[in-house]
Amino acid sequence: VLRTEEIGRMAGLSRSRVIEAGDVVMEEGSVADAVVTVGSGMLKLYRTLPDGRRMITGFATSGDVVGLAAQGNYVYSAEAVTASRVCRTARASLDGMAADNPAVQGRMFAITAADLTAAQDQILMLGCKSATERVCTFLRAMARRGGKDESLPTAYLPMMRQDVAEYLGLRLETLSRVFRRLKDAGLITLLDKTRVRLDDPDRIAALASGAERLGSDN
Amino acid sequence: VLRTEEIGRMAGLSRSRVIEAGDVVMEEGSVADAVVTVGSGMLKLYRTLPDGRRMITGFATSGDVVGLAAQGNYVYSAEAVTASRVCRTARASLDGMAADNPAVQGRMFAITAADLTAAQDQILMLGCKSATERVCTFLRAMARRGGKDESLPTAYLPMMRQDVAEYLGLRLETLSRVFRRLKDAGLITLLDKTRVRLDDPDRIAALASGAERLGSDN
DNA sequence: CGTACTCTTGATTTCACTCAATTCAGGTGG
DNA sequence: CCACCTGAATTGAGTGAAATCAAGAGTACG
């Protein structure tokens, strides 16, 4: 999951399918016979426990490559959270290219290495951070991605609250409550269902790192 | 972090240093100018938050390769938990080999991909599982590694309780309490400070997956 | 033999979870 | 166009699991 149009392009950008929100592109446990490159939209990647508990391990957006690290079988599922354009590249053809072209190999390695770093960021977050810290960390990360429409950074969150909660290792009620407290403190504005503006990026950053506490005592 | 003597061997197994418990082999943020192959002993890999909170992302044992995914700077630190034999391989020489030998590239990719999968396992654990589930999951994983000396699987835990706690995203007091409850339930035996025998592997497995609950109501 | 450490145990608090009710938004059909 | 329905999101009250604070027990080592 990293910006790279190259792999799709190298594969000739063969068939670029358009899919709808809710469509499952990849299923945990099934044979990893292809990788998926995201052209537009957003996918959620998740793993499931036998009893149904889930954890979203990441969101893939334009340019991201999904399922590259799979050896044999996919280790996570991928589902569209918005209408998306995706491109399947057969594993065989990818491996073929990799064998010939060391640059492709290197690219695949770099993508996987970056994914590993991201995964470890999430480990650090899940293991150490409080609910407020997690939410603020997430908002900052998403605001960085989405760019800043206005002068203030704005996070684009097309996925459901439930998905955000599952990514942060929280219940959606808790997420909702944190949003409310951030809103009450004047730190964020919920522009609409999918856009959250960070009105005070510095304090959000402080909250994300745990440097500041969101006391009800203002 | 995956079994592979190959990389060290390919590098000529040049200088195999012996280090002591507590020695830091690799520091988060510093220039990633080498990878480390573990010959014997055990290292802990950890990331740190600015305010000092830490999270151990994994333990590296004989055959594991550490620091491979680093692009530019290391993203985690590595410290010996027992006396260990390690081999540093210069990044430059590794990249040189990789350029010539596609098999090395492939190996590096496979190792990183496996690390990514392990990291996502940990994400799932940290995001979903209770303290008891985490501990049982960990015990099973370590028992699998360590082999079974006797007929019963036995986990070899040379690291401090604090380290285990930091790996599982728990406080060491909580870890201690879970151990006690497992012991009281007759599921494990603390043979000595570093060895935990799983007396009832099936029930440990059930507890690890959340299929069973450790009720104080026996 | 005492010092310093890890580890364990106990008492209490707190943060997030659970369960439950309500509001909100989007879509459908009368 | 409005009433209705559905699923998402919010809010509230109460509980609970793990964290925190604080001793105490066990071990290793000089």
- Which of chain A's residues have a Cβ under 8 Å away from the Cβ of B53? 128, 210
Residue B187 has pLDDT above 90, yes or no: yes
pLDDT above 70 as % of chain B: 89
Question: Which bases of strand D have any atom within 7 Å of the beta carbon of a protein residue?
Answer: 8-13, 17-22, 27-28
- C1' (C12) to CA (A145) span, angstroms: 43
Return the number of other C-beta atoms located less than 10 Å from residue A89's C-beta: 23
Q: Where residue B179 falls among pLDDT bands split at 50, 70, 90? A: very high
Q: Where residue B205 falls among pLDDT bands split at 50, 70, 90? A: very high
- What pLDDT, in 10s, does the model give residues B63-103? 999 999 999 999 999 999 999 999 999 999 999 988 888 88
pLDDT in the model for residue B99: 85
- What pLDDT, in 10s, does the model give residues A25-53? 999 999 999 999 999 999 999 999 999 99
Residue found under tokens 């007929």: B151
8 Å CB contact of A71 and B114: yes
Q: Where residue A180 falls among pLDDT bands split at 50, 70, 90? A: very high
A103 vs B: CB within 8 A? no
β-strand partners of B60 = B43
B54 vs A: CB within 8 A? yes
Exposed (0-12), middle (13-18) or buried (19+): which is B212, by Cβ within 10 Å? Answer: middle
Return the number of other C-beta atoms located less than 10 Å from residue B111's C-beta: 24
d(CA A46, CA A109): 21
Residue found under tokens 């957006």: A61
Q: Where residue B13 falls among pLDDT bands split at 50, 70, 90? A: low
CA distance A149 to chain B (A): 30
d(CA B145, CA B201): 15
- What pLDDT, in 10s, does the model give residues A62-75? 999 999 999 999 99
A87 touches A11 (CB < 8 A): yes
How much is the average pLDDT of A67-96?
Answer: 96
How much is the average pLDDT of A92-120?
Answer: 93
Which residue in the set A69, A99, A209 is minimally distant from B116, CB to CB? A69
- C1' (D22) to CA (B156) span, angstroms: 31
- Which of chain A's residues have a Cβ under 8 Å away from the Cβ of B166? 127
- Which of chain B's residues have a Cβ under 8 Å away from the Cβ of A54? 128
8 Å CB contact of B105 and A110: no
A177 touches A185 (CB < 8 A): no
- Which of chain B's residues have a Cβ under 8 Å away from the Cβ of A102? 98-99, 102, 105
- What pLDDT, in 10s, does the model give residues B128-154? 999 999 999 999 999 987 666 668 999
Max CA separation in chain B (angstroms): 63
DSSP letters spanning A139-207:
HHHHHHHH--SSSS-EEE--S-HHHHHHHHTS-HHHHHHHHHHHHHTTSEEEEETTEEEES-HHHHHHH
Return the structure tokens found at A36: 């998926």
